Structure 1
Amino acid sequence: MKAKKKSGKADIEFSQPKKTPLLVRFMLWIKHIPASDIFRILAGFAFIFLVLVVIIFVSEANSNSRINNFFDAFWYSLVTITTVGYGDITPSTLLGRLAGIILLLFGVVAFAGVSGKIASVFFDRQIKKDRGLIRLEKIKNHFLICGWKPNFDRILLGIISANPDIPIDHIVLINNASPENMDIIKTDKRFKGLIYLFGDYTDEATLLRANVKYAERALILSDYSQNSSPMEIDSRTVLAVLTIGSLNSRIYTAAELIDSKFRQHLSLAHCDEIILSTDYERSILVSASSGTGLSHVLRELITEKSGEGLIIKDIPFEFIGKTYREYRRSLSGGRVLIGLLENTGNFYSRRKEALHEAQKNPNIRQIVNNLKKIKRLKSNEPILTPPDEYIIKPNSRGIFVSGRKRTDFTLDGTALDDSQILNEEGGSDDR
């Protein structure tokens, strides 16, 4: 219906808004219901359903229909509301048939709305997961990898290979790299199960979404996802270590720096491992210029293959407090012990243990000396080739070198193992 209003020479038409159909309005209402209210809505539907069952039972009690008891009324209502409609039982009274019509319409609307809402919830959850917008609440003892850099997929493969004890669904990536860069990771079957969170890893809210309070380890890479200068990248790395440490003091943190001048900041933040990638690269180039072949040695020592190169292994408990000689003589096999790694693990955990031990001594002067030692405590401190009488301290691990298995061939193509190669070499020396 339209009404016209004259104002001078112009005619302005006003049209009344069209009413939205009841079914459409109900569907829109269902769509905007929070997921937490679904159970209350289902309870309301159940109440209305039971009311209609009672109406049908009462109206058909004295009729000639086949609805003879409450269960018959319930059965008819159930097959009607689910739009199955067997037709074996039907009401004969007007009130019963009207209730049946209401049940039929109510069933179509209710099931369409509820199923649409459930599908919407799962669809939204999948979209959030793909975009890295989910919140982790149940995961614990997981590994956080913060930042993105070129060849990120190769870095991830190396991390997975070097940490076979960590399930792949306990590795969480946090960065704000472009979707194109992250799609390479998400579509690669080798990384199936990895968890991805989009966001700034220096932001507390993002880290809380990653459940950082219950994480076991964190690796902060030099982040090249944005067009930032090296100073800005290192500043974000320091900020990330500080933020993660403030949220979880028990987490083991390792961070990569471009410029070594930021190392002092990470040391003050008690970062457990500091990787100076640029300095390492420069040192290798300098050593290569002297023609010593050191770069090949380092390549063999720092390998991604498990069980080869430099290896850090736990020291059996019975050798804690014993001498370095005793531990070295107990070893057998192809690995060579070259030193100890002291104060391994999280810095705050080691300091707490050291404080507890320092306070056990009844001598005040000795307590003061112990506290001074704690102040100088360094996490993951390597002691290379210590003297034989050196006492192995608690929380120490062994540093080993393990070479690759050599395979040579005879003139007829037969492979020789290591022992045969050594025998051949020994025989040639004798000759």
Structure 2
Amino acid sequence: MKEKIHQSFRLFHLWYVAWKEDPLKFFIGLVKSPFFSTVLGFVTFVLTAAGLFHLIETPANKGFETFFSSLWFSIVTITTVGYGDISPTSLWGRTLAMGVIFVGIGYTGVVTGTITSWLVERNQRKEMGLVPLKNLEGHFVVCGWKPNMPDLLIDILSLLETDSKKLVLINQTDPKTVQSLRKNPALANFRFYSGDDTNVEDLKKASAHRASKVMILADDQPGKSAEELDFQSVLTSLAINRINPQAYQIVELTLPKFKLYLTRAKVEEIVLNKAYSRMLLCNIALMSGMYNVFKALFALDSGLFSVRALPAGWVGKTYLEVKGGIEDAVVVGLLENVGNLNRRKAEKMTEIQKSPSIQQAIGSLIELKGMQSNDPFFNPPPDYVIRENTDLMVLEAKPGEMNRLGQSAKSNGPQKVKSHKKLLEATLHENLALSESWEDYFENFSQQGVELLLEKDLVVGLLYLDEPYPFPDLEINSDLAKLIAYWYSKVKNLGEIRENKKLTAQASPKEYMATHLLEKPLFQDSGRKGQLLILGWKKEIIEMLHVLVSRESEEFVRWQGITLVADVTEKEKAEFEAHFGKRKGVRLVVGDTNSREVLIAAGVMTTKKALVLAETGRSKSLQEMDAQSVLCCMMVNDLNKKVYIAAEILDKKYLETLTAANVEEIFLVDEFSNIMLANGSHGRGVSNVIRDVVNLKDNTIEILGIEPRFMGLQFGELVQEVQAPGKMALGLLEEAGNMYVRKSERIHQAQVLPNIKESVAELVRVKRLSANHVVFAPPMDYLIKEHSRLILLNTSKPDLWAKPAEPKV
């Protein structure tokens, strides 16, 4: 009964909403509908029966004296309720009542069936996505479809911290497939409209014109080329711009050549998933552990990277001031021009119109033309001035004392007094970049728990933890020691000071840093032994090989020479020969990647690193591609357990199998795609940040080998070694390299322990050992373990480090 009342209420509510939006359209539609004719006929029948009862039974039967009484009797008779309070007494009246009863039973069934049929049909139309969506505002629209849609939508909702009521899907996928998403309770309440997302009218029916954010997916439709998919995405974006220019757009493309159209359309975030995944694969080939670093930063459930709003009143401050003002996270850069690009450009144009000079206006117009939405700037210079519409890029880590000297940070081992020298040397140089004046320079020491060592009012060294460290014992430039002594006496007005033109010329700490602190060459730990073995073919493999060959000489690359193994066609073989036939150090071995003989011929026994590719675009199912990759990894591991294996797979169900096969690095394509798109849905520019991180041109993140002399020393000593303008040590990659070798070493160490209990405990730890453990923002006194590598962040705009400071506004 309650359900019937609820359905009736919903029916009248829908009628009311439709009438309110367009009364004339509602009335015309109602008249033309079968429902209207059925109800009209039923009402006519009831009124006719009531009139006849009133005519026949009056005045002999007092129960039918009024027309309302006759109407009452007709209704209870037709519905077969029959209260019996009144009844006809005449022959004709009773005959009419019998006819009304029989006809009424049929008519009631027809009316009930019509209403039920209408409700069922409407529900079916709604499930099929044929009912336009009304009364929505500020929701999130997803155009298109992907095979991993459930995981993607759950990730999006989790990141947005909302439920599925705010989610609208528009696509032309089979409605049954779309409705199957509701099996997951987290997706039970999404809205769906089945239509063409390039059509403006269909977008309006999906309420895209009232949405706050719109995500356009590269709709994986069978039979469509990459160009067709991207062309559809561009058309959809232009249609959204037409009906809702204020919506924040996130558009996924397959081919980079279509990016220009979306840039001109002022799309905020453009996600080139396939291009970025190829870049990341190249990064993995160049730097082992790169995907682990990537996940540690951007994983949706545990990633440390986030974007924070700039606190009020901080516009106009320097980056150094902002960085020092954030105590619960590590600031790694700025995200400029955040939000809707149309708004940002309109604001900039208003500002240009107020320019005092034509020259300034022209400069601002040039800047306006190159303006990009959500533009990441990693590791800006300390004196870089914060602009309007800027957010902070941070690591949600609380190191307390990352890259600075202090006693409160937790360590993973005992203090080593010999490392204090390195820390103090780092502090002396670091404070040059942190200080606007020499007064600030000396103030920074006191804030860091360091005192100046004085002898007859002359600075001769530093005092730390009650231990003196004279300048001659510290490995610093003698000019810097003299400069510190000179300016301390000058600042404190300590007696007569002999003027020294060489010293007085250094008007500020930053000037000294600019002229003396030159960038040091970074280092690596071991020589390059063995080749890179690439197993599998992609249509983009030639492009990837060109990238790898061009970067082979970089200091972070740990292999020499490339061998590609693939079962290729004659056309593909000719393409390879055309590009690399005469290139020394790059060769192709044709054959099955799962063949023992082929792998041995390719040199697997002398291979340093193996990269196993998912052979997409070769008319294979996802399961076939992943099965081939898994078998290939197992074969390589069986032939040479000392090879570092990195594998690309499409389905996460194979993760456990690959881990058991001692694969050190597993690149899950769907996981990467979801990270990109879900972060894009957040509208905070994180997908642009990821784009710059995997970009192969800038080397935003490098994973560098560490010289053996640093093993067992403190992280601060390593920071001192790599300190240079535009570079920032983010952390360490521990247990790097081949797991078989690492575990063999640990087992040997456990076997020689004199205590059996300790030996067993060490063997248990060996069993749990995993490759490429990321440690971000360790304290300065954190001890560097064996087989660790340095994670280094480079500035994304090195030219600004060489420029003079901007005027502070």
Q: TM-score range by the shorter chain?
A: 0.7 to 0.9
**Aligned partner letter, 2:268:** D
1:260 aligns with 2:256: yes
Distance 2:49 2:120 in 1: 34
* Structure 2 residue aligned with 1:92: 89
**Pair 1:289–1:373, CA change in 2 (3 A):** closer
Deviates more, 1:272-281 or 1:100-109: 100-109
Deviation, 1:90, is 0.8
Relative to structure 1, the CA distance from residue 131 to residue 44 in structure 2 (aligned partners, 3 Å threshold; closer, same or farther) is closer
Amino acid at match of 1:311: S
For 2:230, the aligned partner's letter is: D
CA drift at 1:214: 0.7
- Paired residue type of 1:219: M
**Is the CA contact 2:42–2:111 (under 8 Å) kept in the aligned structure 1?**
no
Shift in CA distance, 94/147, structure 1 to aligned 2, threshold 3 Å:
same
- How is 1:230-269 mapped onto 2 (pairs within 5 angstroms)? 230-269=226-265
**In structure 2, what is the equivalent of residue 172 of structure 1?**
168
Distance 1:403 1:129, change over 3 A: farther
Is contact 2:31-2:37 (8 Å) kept? no
Identify unmatched segments of 5+ residues in structure 1.
Answer: 1-31, 406-420
Match of 2:330 in 1: 336
**CA distance, structure 1, for counterparts of residue 245 and residue 365 of structure 2:** 20
1:271 to 267, 272, 280: 267
- Which AA in structure 1 matches 2:352? A
Give CA-to-partner distance per residue, 1:358-378, whole Å, 9 cap, x none. Answer: 334565665555444333322
Distance 1:320 1:40 in 2: 68
Distance 2:190 2:32 in 1: 27
Q: SS of the counterpart of 1:337?
A: strand
Aligned with 1:347 (options 341, 350, 354): 341
Q: Structure 1's 44 and 388: CA in aligned 2 closer, same or farther, altered over 3 A?
A: farther
Would you say the 8 A contact 2:128–2:176 is kept in 1?
Answer: no
What is the alpha-carbon distance in structure 1 between the residues aligned to residue 107 and residue 417 of structure 2? 93
3-state SS of 1:394 partner: coil
Alignment-mate amino acid for residue 227 of structure 2: M
**TM-score, structure 2 as length reference:** 0.43
> More displaced, 79-88 or 359-368?
359-368
CA distance in 2, matches of 1:240, 1:286: 31
Q: Which residue does 1:312 correspond to in 2? A: 307
- 1:36–1:397 Cα change, 3 Å: farther
Rounded to whole Å, the distance in 1 between the matches of 2:151 and 2:333 is 30
Whether the 8 Å contact between 1:310 and 1:402 is mirrored in structure 2 is: yes
State the match for 1:134 in structure 2: 131
User: Does the 8 A contact of 2:133 with 2:193 survive in 1?
Assistant: no
C-alpha distance 367-44 of structure 1, shift in aligned 2 (>3 A): farther
Amino acid at match of 1:398: L
SS at match of 1:149: coil
Partner of 1:380: 374
Correspondence list, 1:32-51, <5 A? 42=39, 45-46=42-43, 49-50=46-47
Aligned counterpart for 1:146 among listed residues 143, 148, 162: 143
Aligned residue runs from structure 1 range 387-398, under 5 A: 387-398=381-392
Are the equivalent residues in 2 in contact too, given 1:177–1:226 (CA < 8 A)?
A: no
Match of 2:393 in 1: 399
- Is the Cα–Cα contact under 8 Å of residues 268 and 339 in structure 2 kept in the other structure? yes
Matched to 2:194, the amino acid is F
- 2:412 matches 1:425: yes
The 2-side partners of 1:424 and 1:378 are apart by: 42
Which residue does the alignment assign to 2:777? none
Offset, 1:121: 1.7
Higher deviation after alignment, 132-141 or 98-107: 98-107
Q: Which residue of 2 aligns with 1:201?
A: 197
Secondary structure at 1:427 match in 2: coil
Match among 156, 165, 168 for residue 153 of structure 2: 156
**Distance of 1:43 and 1:183 partners within structure 2:** 36
Q: How does 1:203-242 map to 2 (within 5 A)?
A: 203-242=199-238
Give per-residue Cα distances to partners, 1:336-378, cap 9 Å, x unaligned.
1112212212221222233334334565665555444333322
**Any conservation in 1 of the 2:141–2:214 contact (CA below 8 Å)?**
yes
- Give me the whole-angstrom Cα distance separating, in 2, the residues matched to 1:354 and 1:37: 58
Q: 1:231 Cα shift?
A: 2.3
Corresponding position: 1:296 with 2:283: no
Alpha carbons of structure 1 residues 191 and 370: separation in structure 2 relative to 1, 3 Å: same
Residues 265, 71 of structure 1: alpha-carbon distance in 2 compared, 3 angstrom cutoff: closer
Cα separation, partners in 2 of 1:54 and 1:133, compared to 1, 3 Å = closer
Aligned partner of 2:50: which letter? V
The AA in structure 1 aligned to 2:286 is S
Relative distance call for 1:318 and 1:40 in structure 2 (3 A) is farther
Q: Deviations over 1:300-358 (max 9, x none)?
A: 1121116x32211222333234433443333232x211122122122212222333343
The aligned amino acid for 1:127 is Q
Q: Is the 8 A contact 2:182 2:189 kept in 1?
A: no
Higher relative contact order (CA 8 A, sep 6+): 2
Structure 2 counterpart SS, 1:145: strand
Q: Counterpart amino acid of 1:309?
A: L
Q: Percent identity?
A: 31
Could you tell me how far 1:280 is from its partner in structure 2? 1.9
Task: Give the letter for the 2:271 counterpart.
Answer: I
Aligned in 2, Cα 1:369/1:96: closer, same or farther, shift over 3 Å? farther
Using the alignment, how far apart are the partners of 2:42 and 2:364 within structure 1?
A: 70
Contact 2:175 2:194 in 1 (8 A): no
Q: Indicate the SS of the match to 2:392.
A: strand
1:318 aligned counterpart, secondary structure: coil
Secondary structure at the counterpart of residue 108 of structure 2: helix
Aligned mates of 2:254, 2:312 — CA distance in 1: 38
**How big is the shift at 1:161?**
1.7
TM-score (norm 1): 0.77
Partner of 1:391: helix, strand, or coil? coil
Q: Which 10-residue stretch deviates more, 337-346 or 321-330?
A: 321-330
Q: Which moved more, 1:184-193 or 1:394-403?
A: 184-193
**Are 1:35 and 1:121, in contact at CA under 8 Å, matched by a contact in 2?**
no
The total of aligned residue pairs comes to: 382
Of 343-352 and 48-57, the range deviating more from structure 2: 48-57
Structure 2: distance between partners of 1:363 and 1:310: 41
Equivalent residue number for residue 516 of structure 2: none
In 2, distance between residues paired with 1:220 and 1:397? 25
- SS for the counterpart of 1:226 is coil
Q: In 1, are the aligned partners of 2:46 and 2:71 still within 8 Å (CA)?
A: no
Post-superposition CA distance 1:40-91 (Å, at most 9, x none): 8756755664454354345434315544555543432332132211223112
Other structure's SS at 2:145 match: coil
Please tell me the residue identity of whatever aligns with 1:315.
L
**C-alpha distance in structure 2 between counterparts of 1:233 and 1:171, whole Å:** 23
The 5 A counterparts of 1:25-104 are: 42=39, 45-46=42-43, 49-50=46-47, 52-64=49-61, 66-67=63-64, 69=66, 72-94=69-91, 96-97=93-94, 100-101=97-98, 103-104=100-101
Residue matched to 2:319: 324
Measured at CA, do residues 348 and 37 of structure 1 come closer, stay the same or move farther in structure 2, by a change above 3 Å?
farther
